[in-house]
Amino acid sequence: MKFGKEFKSQMVPEWQEAYMNYDYLKTALQDISFSKKPQSSDVSLKRKGSLYRTFSGLTRKYSNAKIEDEENRVIQVDGVGVRGEHYQTMFFKLLEEGGEYEAVFFKRLDDEFNKVLRFYKAKEEEVLIEAQEFEKQMDVLIALRIKVEKPDGVNVGASQMEMAHMDVITEVERSKEEFSKDEDMILEKAEENMKLDSSRPDQLEVLKQVKINIKPETPWSTLQGILKDSKSKKLNFSKEELREVEEQLKHAFIEFYQKLRLLKSYSFLNLSAFSKIMKKYDKIASRCASKAYLKTVDKSHLGNSDEVPRLIERVETTFIKHFSNANRGKGIRTLRPTARKEKHRTTFLLGFLSGCSVALVVAIIVLIHAKNVFQSEGRHRYMENMFPLYSLFAFVVLHMLMYSADIYFWRRYRVNYPFIFGFKQSSELGYREVFLLSAGLSVLALAGVLSNLQMDMDLETNSFEALTELVPLGLVTVVLIITFCPFNVIYRSSRIFLFGCAFRCICAPLYKVTLPDFFLADELTSQVQAFRSLEFYVCYYGWGDFQKRNNSCRESDVFNAFYFVVALIPYWYRVLQCLRRLFEEKEVIQGFNCLKYFSTIVAVVMRTVYETNKGISWRIMAGVTSGIAALYSTYWDLKIDWGLLQRHSKNPWLRDKLLVPHQSIYFAVMVLNVLLRFAWLQSVLGFHDIPHVHRTAVTAIVACLEIIRRGIWNFFRLENEHLNNVGKYRAFNSVPLPFNYGEDEDKNE
């Protein structure tokens, strides 16, 4: 792999603009190469001149002196500014052929170097401030452990001084290893540590100055926070409290450690990039300037600072000692989780099950043609009763396929979806795993359809075989058992993550709304027909109609009432989530988002009433409300969720930054989104009366179109979220720390 591609592949996606622009500098080198391309006559003259110099013995005599002279006089890099932190290169060969292009190259190189240096120093200052806060948090945690384990009180002064003395000795020994040539620095460092330790108050005194943060992780704690109007309280020194604090601080340490590792990688990658580009310059321009420039790079803060590596060592030592019982292997595995490996078994099963799905589809088509199912008398009864049962699996499989495609394109265009969704490191599913699950479910569903393609009813009993009629219910049972299986099989961590998001959606607005929560609620709004299919399962099998393949669900007032409710539940979740965000974030845009979902609720109600009662008045009301909701939602999709329709952007009517290289894709997707948003027209204008197509099939097709629209929406929604993170260099989750100091509360007030 070429360095340019490897360089891009190892970048932190959200920091991409802060890295050295390697391609930009390569274009400058191409200009230099073109300007220095010799003519054929010049080449022959140079060859003859080199031969004469070689045989005359002059080349060998003065070669070293010439190289040294070139190194000293090609460039000179100086630090300018108040502290000399801004570097500027002086190029001495400007009057030579192509010299102006080389001067442009060094101007661009300086700009890139200064950009990288500023970003690195800013991020290093941030982590150093965070490290000081973590040190204060650890002091409180150690004191809390002592207080909880020995609640009766104990004289910790002697042990504390002994521990401090050991810390000083350890620090001095570490200093000897790092600064073996500077003994004065060792003594000064030891004296400073002794002064700090002697000035520290009693270890337990710190507990009187802090309060513990309360995160609204449960509905009850949320209500308590609202009633008391406070998010912190005094320590009660219980073991449960200590356990919660340790877990929260452990999570914060892991996030902080990942930030340090990526910052160290940022420094290493940029140093490698500067080395590579300078070697290319020397080769193209026939100069020897790389040594002088790289010497400046190495002496700069980017190449010379060791704060981040030292912080990494300190964090590892602290984490291993306090959060993994001094087990280094366990601690390092927690801090550095291994990436999920692509297994050949997954690829094999994916191909096998996909092939089985295709074979089953072919078998169903052949069987339908052989039995002339479309002309059978039982066709209408099958479409009214069995088709809605199996359409549930079609909706789920299609949604998983769209999500699998989304993951593929997110990875292709380097959208950091694991960070956006908040997945644990190396626990996120790839597109192969999601595709595998959808292929397995499709095989089960298609096999069930094949077993249920019998249209002939027993004339004596006026019924069908009960066993085959129970196949759909058995499939749903199997899927539910696998979904809620507590054992570590079939991607348990991902299932637990999904359960957590679903539970927070159900309990809205009692939980703080995060992106995975409202993203899942948006996905559920596209699965209204799936919820109605589940309701039909309850009616069809609960009332015993399955044996006769006939149902009276539409005649029940209870069924019709729930037919309304299940369609509104996902939208109601989003309304409550928007209200929670409006209350917490005080952003007016959340109020408008709430109105959008409320208008959709009104439209769904009107369409549902029209489906059950008909009538021209209900038809007009359904059309008007649905039109308003569709226009509102379409504008919101394009403008807010996707960030498009920006008139004065660099890409007209799109946005300044685009991940997909072809702008026509965005315009095509916008048009497609509008068309699919208005798929509700089939229920208002009577498109379900299409000849030779049953109305349940039309309803299923429209539901599938909505799922496809949602899958397209997913990609561009996360693209916009990713670009917002890139614009703010936001590559890490903000993890709240468990303790608040008194002065911190005063500052917040």
User: Which tokens sit at 17?
Assistant: 């603009």
User: Does the pLDDT at position 416 exceed 50?
Assistant: yes
**By the 8 A CB rule, do 682 and 646 touch?**
no
User: Does the pLDDT at position 340 exceed 90?
Assistant: no
User: Does the pLDDT at position 407 exceed 80?
Assistant: yes
CB-count burial class (<10 Å; 0-12, 13-18, 19+) for 181: exposed
Measured CA distances, 674 to 378, 622, 630, 646 (Å): 38, 18, 8, 17
Tell me the mean pLDDT in the region 313-334: 91
Q: What is the pLDDT of residue 749?
A: 43
Tell me the mean pLDDT in the region 95-116: 90
Name the band, by pLDDT with cuts 50, 70 and 90, for residue 81. Answer: low
User: Does the pLDDT at position 342 exceed 80?
Assistant: no
**CB contact set of 168 (below 8 Å; sequence gap of 6+):** 190, 193, 194, 197
User: Does the pLDDT at position 60 exceed 50?
Assistant: no
Q: How far apart are CA 539 and CA 745, in angstroms?
A: 56
Name the band, by pLDDT with cuts 50, 70 and 90, for residue 339. Answer: confident
User: Does the pLDDT at position 411 exceed 50?
Assistant: yes
Q: How many CA atoms lie within 13 A of 495 on its CB side?
A: 15
User: Which tokens sit at 105?
Assistant: 């190259």
User: Does the pLDDT at position 263 exceed 80?
Assistant: yes
**CB contact set of 413 (below 8 Å; sequence gap of 6+):** 659, 660, 719
Q: What is the pLDDT of residue 25?
A: 92
680 C-beta neighbours (distance < 10 Å), count: 19
Q: How many helices (H) and strands (E) does the chain have?
A: 29, 5
Lowest mean per-residue pLDDT among 251-255, 323-327, 517-521, 688-692? 688-692
Q: How far apart are CA 668 and CA 673, in angstroms?
A: 9
**509: preceding bond cis by omega (within 30 degrees):** yes
**CB contact set of 244 (below 8 Å; sequence gap of 6+):** 738
Tell me the mean pLDDT in the region 115-123: 94
Residue that is written with structure tokens 């009850």 in the block:
220
- What is the residue-wise DSSP string for 617-654? HHHHHHHHHHHHHHHHHHHIIIIIIS---BTTSSSTTB
Residue that is written with structure tokens 């099989």 in the block:
489
Q: Which range is most confident: 3-7, 65-69, 212-216, 732-736?
A: 3-7
**CB contact set of 310 (below 8 Å; sequence gap of 6+):** none
Name the band, by pLDDT with cuts 50, 70 and 90, for residue 34. Answer: confident
Q: What is the pLDDT of residue 465?
A: 73
Give the model confidence (pLDDT) of 213-248 as tens digits.
766 566 666 665 655 555 556 777 788 888 888 998
User: Does the pLDDT at position 722 exceed 90?
Assistant: yes
Query: Domain-by-domain residue ranges, the chain?
Result: 344-727
Residue that is written with structure tokens 């450690």 in the block:
257
Angle between helices 379-412 and 528-542 in degrees, nearest 10: 140
**CB contact set of 46 (below 8 Å; sequence gap of 6+):** 38
Give the model confidence (pLDDT) of 154-169 as tens digits.
444 444 434 443 443 3
**By the 8 A CB rule, do 287 and 33 touch?**
no
Name the band, by pLDDT with cuts 50, 70 and 90, for residue 202. Answer: low
User: Does the pLDDT at position 661 exceed 80?
Assistant: yes
Tell me the mean pLDDT in the region 63-86: 64
Sequence letter at residue 326: A
Q: Which of 496, 448, 443, 456 is nearest to 472 (CA)?
A: 448
Q: What is the pLDDT of residue 286?
A: 87
**Is the pLDDT higher at 89 or at 176?**
89
Q: How far apart are CA 352 and CA 362, in angstroms?
A: 16
Tell me the mean pLDDT in the region 452-477: 77
